[in-house]
């Protein structure tokens, strides 16, 4: 008998000395260089890998604990993730920053200097992608067994630059220097089919089982990034798929005869699938490639989920007990048909049983109310690209409509409205309908959103199946958006509350409520805000060349450019301030800095023109000595998660001014309020819940609510009548029309004026007066420094509810029915 040999497992030490030794060893053996000759990127990569090693250890233990417990897993399917920078997060989560600082100092480099190489993976457009990242963070923090699935886009969301004030998009080659945070896992690759034909199974009497022969196959290669929990040992993963040509794709024969381009044709075609993120967060792009991306994500992920299920389980009866899949909006909804196909065609499960498993496995989160954002795909495209899936959709719809007809005998109107297929000149598949039909739970992302979904967009479904509808109000991770973004405020909070427990129990911020009445605490609070503003001012000057006054009211509007979000309304307010200063330069004005941040979809011309107008107004304001004394307008380009972390801690006023009934939730509103900014906002999305919690006295409310907006639209909204009735509004619009922001050229911004006076789809003009008056109240409130600070403290103190930990707990309790698995140290 041989003696058992201790199994080799490398564990990292947990002292400064260990860390330093690993760092030097990694620099030498991993990076292949020495301290003397290391470049900035060498230093960054080495540090990243050394920190990462600490997480690998935890990940290995997490995987072992999960294997032993064989729990129910949450699989989060999302076409987008905005993870943000990883270095600071992982330093915090491994508690190694305290070592890195002195070591770096010894070596004569600063953490800040290395951090510039920490590129954020921009694999998403906006709110939905960032929400996915917050939820993953909270799932790990709460020890929920979970895997996020997504696409490893070669090019993420474009980099925004301005040329003559106009948005110019540049590719985001985020992996150019390599990504130290990811692990390729080629062994888990999957093959994905497209196109081709289907054949009946002669042995299947029901005709529901078929055989699909794809016309094209592509390889999906996964890599994963670690998703650590805070204050716990759990490290989950996010698995990202990249498309590769299958091995046979390289045409050696063609290459041999000099047809070099043709020889790699199939490779290029295949790899295009994960080439680029679609930089559009609202309108459906009728593009085959986008549908291919969606199916690619789904096909790879479902096979991976099944592979994981089979590591510990067999048979299909128990599948839905071990697997719960959350569909993040409609992008991954084709998964419903893919799981049916896998079960019925490939694993021989009967249709009814397969349907029961499928329905119990999926849940769907809707993130919008805009009809144009609800995806539909042409039947003809699906028939060509995914012929078997189209057949399955017809079958699902057939059985579903039988149910509808049974519930509403003789009512063909309701059948037409609810059908998964939208009839018309071009028949289309309604992905949201497919999602609801194929899911156990459907949820909206804020109370008002869920209510409006049930009353309007998905009304028929909410009537037929009320038990399927849930609300889970969004949240944000306090680790990234308070502790990491705002270390000064975090220190003050911790001092006041006694410990850092609030980081995982955010409702403990309530404890600050009494401190709000302590003048010394308020002074300290102001001091933090001021220091944050000084830092922001330096960053803004570097990126825009414009100097801003850290004592001015920092008024920020940071979010994607969209008509419904109403940057145009904010601009009308800015122009009104300009006009007032011009009319009376000697009066006193509350000094303000208005900061815009955000991208417009490259094809969204109206919003790109608005971006140009913001920049043009900024130019006029900042270069006019009289106006610039009271007002500055800045627009640092390329707003992203990293920049959000800079701006949010320095904000005094948070602009949340969407037309009521249009913003599903908002999450920037939560991040800003949590950092002590006061909100000026409409009764829309999560603003309502923020106001309920912070108190009406600590929130600047204005404008129509959703019923009033709907009523005005029904009564025949005429923006012109508002324009004519309000002198200041007329002057603001006329100022744009006069060419004052285009060196006298009236044509440049004429489309903006026409849109306002013509349709004004989101009724900015109707809310203008209420908004401007409310801004006057804001300015007035600002002059009472003590009162403002008190309101600011109370905003932070009362926003504990908006932690994504609470959001995840609600998903767990209402929808996922999963339990945590603790990982021992």
Residue from 373, 454, 781, 823 in contact with ligand AZC (CB under 6 A) = 373
Give the shortest CB-128-to-ligand AZC separation in angstroms.
3
- 199 catalytically annotated: no
Pick the closer one to ligand AZC by CB: 367 or 430: 367
The answer to whether 671 is a known catalytic residue is yes
Dist CA 24 CA 19 (whole Å): 9
Cβ–Cβ < 8 Å for 331, 153: no
List, as one string, the DSSP characters of 244-294. Answer: EE-GGGS-HHHHHTT-HHHHTHHHHHHHGGGTB----SSSPP--HHHHHHH
Phi, psi of 220 (to 5 degrees): -110, 120
Q: Which of 57, 120, 271, 281 binds ligand AZC (CB under 6 A)?
A: 281
* Of positions 62, 78, 89, 368, contacts ligand AZC by CB under 6 A: 368
What is the nearest approach in angstroms of ligand AZC to the Cβ of residue 432?
11
> Which span sits near ligand AZC by CB under 6 A: 301-309, 366-374, 482-490, 753-761?
366-374
In the complex with ligand AZC, the residue whose CB is nearer, 234 or 477, is 477
Q: CB neighbours of 689 closer than 8 A, spacing ≥ 6?
A: 446, 447, 473, 801, 802
- The smaller minimum CB distance to ligand AZC, of residues 248 and 372, is found at 372
Residues 669 to 728 in contact with ligand AZC, rule: CB under 6 A: 685
Output 565 or 580, the one with its CB closest to ligand AZC: 565
Torsions phi, psi of 102, nearest 5? -65, -35
Q: Which of 367, 388, 508, 592 binds ligand AZC (CB under 6 A)?
A: 367
Q: Contacting ligand AZC (CB under 6 A), which of 236, 474, 612, 640?
A: 474
Q: Roughly what angle, to the nearest 10 degrees, separates helices 764-783 and 750-758?
A: 100
> Least Å distance between CB 659 and ligand AZC?
12
Catalytic residue, candidates 46, 62, 96, 667 = 667
| Site size with ligand AZC, rule: CB under 6 A | 17
Using the structure block, give the residue that is written with the tokens 């801004």. Answer: 775
Q: How far apart are CA 196 and CA 202, in angstroms?
A: 19
Q: How far is CA 243 from CA 49, 81, 406, 615, 646, in A?
A: 26, 17, 44, 39, 34
| DSSP secondary structure, 507-553, as one string | GGGGGHHHHTT-HHHHHHHHHHHHHHHHHHHHHHHHHH-----TTSE
Residues numbered 90-129 forming contacts with ligand AZC, rule: CB under 6 A:
126-128
Report d(CA 398, CA 143) in Å as an integer: 41
Of 343, 363, 309, 286, whose CA–CA distance to 77 is shortest? 363
CB of 764 to ligand AZC, least distance (A): 18
Q: How far apart are the first and last CA of the chain?
A: 33
State yes or no: is 380 an active-site residue. no
Which structure tokens are listed for 128?
Answer: 């939905």
Least Cβ distance, residue 486 to ligand AZC (angstroms): 21
Closer Cβ to ligand AZC, 54 or 559, answer by number: 559
Exposed/middle/buried for 763, CB within 10 Å: 0-12, 13-18, 19+? buried
DSSP 476: B
The active-site residue, picked from 210, 331, 560, 790, is 560
Identified catalytic residue from 592, 671, 798, 806: 671
- Please identify which residue in the block is written with the tokens 């559009």: 280
Interface pick for ligand AZC out of 664, 690, 756, 766 (rule CB under 6 A):
664
Determine what percent of the chain falls in helix, strand and coil, rounding each to the nearest 5: 55, 15, 30
| Contact between 594 and ligand AZC per CB under 6 A | no
The CA angle 235-92-821, to the nearest 5 degrees, is 25
CA atoms within 13 A on the CB side of 617: 34
Q: How far is the CB of 806 from ligand AZC (least distance, A)?
A: 15
Which residue of 120, 563, 638, 663 would you call a contact of ligand AZC, by CB under 6 A? 663
With respect to ligand AZC, which residue has the nearer C-beta, 249 or 457? 457
Cα separation, 22 vs 10, whole angstroms: 12
Q: Which of 137, 143, 188, 329 binds ligand AZC (CB under 6 A)?
A: 329
Smallest Cα–Cα separation from 290: which of 299, 280, 278, 282?
A: 278
Catalytic entry in 565, 643, 693, 798:
565
Pick 490 or 667: Cβ nearer ligand AZC: 667
Cβ 375 to ligand AZC shortest distance, Å: 9
Give the three-class secondary structure for 655: strand
Cβ closer to ligand AZC: 666 or 681? Answer: 666
- String of DSSP letters for 116-185: TT----EE--SHHHHHHHHHHHHHHHTT--EEEEEE--SB-SPEEEEETTEEEEE---TTTT--TTEEE-
Dist. CA 43–CA 62, nearest whole Å: 29
Q: Are 736 and 754 in contact (CB under 8 A)?
A: no
Q: Which is nearer to ligand AZC, 420 or 664 (CB)?
A: 664
Q: Is 50 a catalytic residue?
A: no
Of the listed 219, 292, 559, 790, which one is catalytic? 559
**For residue 7, how many other CB atoms are within 10 A of its CB?**
5
The residue ranges of DSSP E strands in 583-721, in sequence order, are 592-597, 631-634, 653-656, 678-681, 700-701
Q: Which of residues 388-447 bind ligand AZC (CB under 6 A)?
A: 445
Q: Which of 358, 665, 682, 789 contacts ligand AZC by CB under 6 A? A: 665
**What is the per-residue binding string for ligand AZC in 160-189, x denoting contact by CB under 6 A?**
------------------------------
Query: Of residues 49, 131, 395, 752, which one binds ligand AZC by CB under 6 A?
Result: 131
Nearer to ligand AZC, 768 or 802 (CB): 802
Asked if residue 667 binds ligand AZC (CB under 6 A), the reply is yes
**279 interacts with ligand AZC by CB under 6 A:** no
State in angstroms the smallest separation of the CB of 131 from ligand AZC.
4
Cβ of residue 82: shortest distance to ligand AZC, in angstroms?
Answer: 10
Which x/- pattern over 232-271 shows residues binding ligand AZC (rule: CB under 6 A)?
----------------------------------------
Residue 666 interacts with ligand AZC (CB under 6 A)? yes
Whose Cβ is closer to ligand AZC: residue 49's or residue 131's?
131
Determine the Cα angle at 89 with ends 88 and 93, to 5°: 120
Nearest to ligand AZC of 180, 666 (CB atom): 666
The residue range among 67-75, 212-220, 608-616, 661-669 that interacts with ligand AZC, by the rule CB under 6 A, is 661-669
Q: Out of 210, 224, 367, 580, which one is annotated catalytic?
A: 367
Q: Which stretch binds ligand AZC (CB under 6 A): 184-192, 477-485, 531-539, 664-672?
A: 664-672
**Residues contacting residue 233 through CB under 8 Å, at least 6 positions apart:** 58, 61, 62, 822, 823, 824, 825
- Position with the least CB separation from ligand AZC: 127
Q: Which residue, 348 or 603, has its beta carbon nearer to ligand AZC?
A: 603
Among the residue ranges 52-60, 419-427, 638-646, 662-670, the one whose residues contact ligand AZC (CB under 6 A): 662-670
Rounded least distance, CB 126 to ligand AZC, Å? 4
735 binds ligand AZC (CB under 6 A): no
Angstrom CA distances, 7 to 1, 11, 56, 60, 483, stand at: 17, 12, 17, 14, 39
Residue 514 CB coordination number (10 Å): 12
Active site residue ranges: 367, 559-560, 565, 667, 671
Chain residues in the site for ligand AZC (CB under 6 A): 126-128, 131, 281, 329, 367-368, 373, 445, 474, 663-667, 685
């Amino acid at each position: 008998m041989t003696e058992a040999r201790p199994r080799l497992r490398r564990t990292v030490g947990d002292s400064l000395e260990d860390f330093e030794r690993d760092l030097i060893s990694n620099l030498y053996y991993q990076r292949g260089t020495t301290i003397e000759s290391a470049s900035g990127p060498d230093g960054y990569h080495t540090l990243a890998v050394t920190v990462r090693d600490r997480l690998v250890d935890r990940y290995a233990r997490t995987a072992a604990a999960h294997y032993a417990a064989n729990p129910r897993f949450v699989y989060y399917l999302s076409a987008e993730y905005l993870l943000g920078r990883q270095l600071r997060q992982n330093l915090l989560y491994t508690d190694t920053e305290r070592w890195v600082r002195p070591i770096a100092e010894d070596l004569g480099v600063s953490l800040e200097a290395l951090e510039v190489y920490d590129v954020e993976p921009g694999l998403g457009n906006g709110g939905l992608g960032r929400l996915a990242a917050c939820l993953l963070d909270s799932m790990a923090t709460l020890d929920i067994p979970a895997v996020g699935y997504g696409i490893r886009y070669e090019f993420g969301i474009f980099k925004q630059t301005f040329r003559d004030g106009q948005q110019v998009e540049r590719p985001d080659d985020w992996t150019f220097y390599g990504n130290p945070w990811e692990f390729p896992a080629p062994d888990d690759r999957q093959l994905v089919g497209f196109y081709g034909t289907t054949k009946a199974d002669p042995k299947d009497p029901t005709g529901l089982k078929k055989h699909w022969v794809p016309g094209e196959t592509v390889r999906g290669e996964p890599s994963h990034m670690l998703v650590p929990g805070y204050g716990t040992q759990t490290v989950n993963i996010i698995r990202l798929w990249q498309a590769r040509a299958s091995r046979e794709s390289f045409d050696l024969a063609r290459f041999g005869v000099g047809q070099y381009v043709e020889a790699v044709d199939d490779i290029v075609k295949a790899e295009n699938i994960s080439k680029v993120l679609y930089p559009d967060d609202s309108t459906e792009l009728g593009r085959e490639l986008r549908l291919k991306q969606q199916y690619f994500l789904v096909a790879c992920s479902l096979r991976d989920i099944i592979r994981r299920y089979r590591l510990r389980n067999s048979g299909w009866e128990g599948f839905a007990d071990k697997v719960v899949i959350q569909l993040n909006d409609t992008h991954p909804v084709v998964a419903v048909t893919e799981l049916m196909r896998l079960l019925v065609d490939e694993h021989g499960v009967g249709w009814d049983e397969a349907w029961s498993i499928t329905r119990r496995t999926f849940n769907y989160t809707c993130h919008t109310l805009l009809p144009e954002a609800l995806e539909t795909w042409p039947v003809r495209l699906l028939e060509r690209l995914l012929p078997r899936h189209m057949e399955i959709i017809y079958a699902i719809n057939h059985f579903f409509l039988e149910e509808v007809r049974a519930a509403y005998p003789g009512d063909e109107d309701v059948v037409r409205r609810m059908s998964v297929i939208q009839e018309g000149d071009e028949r289309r598949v309604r992905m949201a309908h497919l999602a609801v039909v194929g899911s156990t739970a459907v949820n909206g992302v804020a109370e008002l959103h869920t209510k409006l979904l049930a009353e309007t967009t998905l009304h028929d479904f909410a009537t037929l199946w009320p038990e399927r509808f849930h609300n889970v109000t969004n949240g944000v991770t306090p680790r990234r958006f308070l502790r990491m973004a705002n270390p000064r405020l975090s220190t003050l909070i911790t001092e006041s509350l006694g410990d850092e427990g609030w980081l995982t129990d955010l409702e403990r911020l309530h404890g600050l409520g009494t401190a709000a009445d302590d003048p010394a605490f308020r002074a300290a609070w102001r001091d933090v805000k001021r220091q944050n503003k000084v830092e922001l001012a330096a960053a803004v000057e570097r990126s825009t060349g414009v100097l801003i006054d850290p004592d001015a009211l920092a008024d920020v509007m940071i979010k994607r450019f969209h008509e419904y979000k109403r940057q145009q309304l904010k601009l009308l307010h800015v122009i009104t301030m300009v006009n007032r200063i011009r009319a009376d330069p000697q009066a006193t004005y509350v000094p303000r800095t208005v900061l815009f941040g955000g991208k417009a979809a490259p094809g969204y011309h109206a919003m790109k023109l608005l971006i140009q107008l913001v920049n043009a107004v900024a130019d006029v304001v900042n270069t006019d000595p009289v106006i610039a004394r009271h007002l500055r307008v800045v627009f640092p380009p390329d707003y992203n998660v990293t920049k959000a972390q800079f701006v949010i801690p320095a904000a005094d006023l948070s602009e949340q001014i969407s037309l009521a009934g249009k913003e599903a939730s908002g999450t920037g509103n939560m991040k800003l309020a949590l950092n002590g900014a006061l909100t000026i906002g409409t009764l829309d999305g999560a603003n309502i819940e923020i106001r309920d919690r912070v108190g009406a006295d600590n929130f600047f409310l204005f404008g129509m609510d959703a019923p009033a907006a709907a009523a005005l639209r029904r009564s025949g909204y005429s923006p012109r009548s508002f324009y004519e009735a309000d002198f200041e509004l007329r002057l603001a619009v006329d100022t744009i029309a006069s060419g004052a922001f285009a060196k006298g050229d009236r044509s440049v911004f004429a489309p903006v004026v026409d849109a306002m006076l013509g349709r004004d789809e989101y009724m900015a003009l109707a809310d203008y007066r209420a908004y401007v008056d409310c801004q006057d109240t804001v300015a007035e409130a600002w002059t009472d420094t003590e009162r403002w600070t008190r309101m600011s403290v109370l905003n932070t103190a009362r926003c504990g509810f908006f932690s994504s930990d609470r959001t995840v707990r609600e998903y767990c309790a209402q929808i996922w029915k999963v339990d945590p698995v603790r990982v021992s140290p």
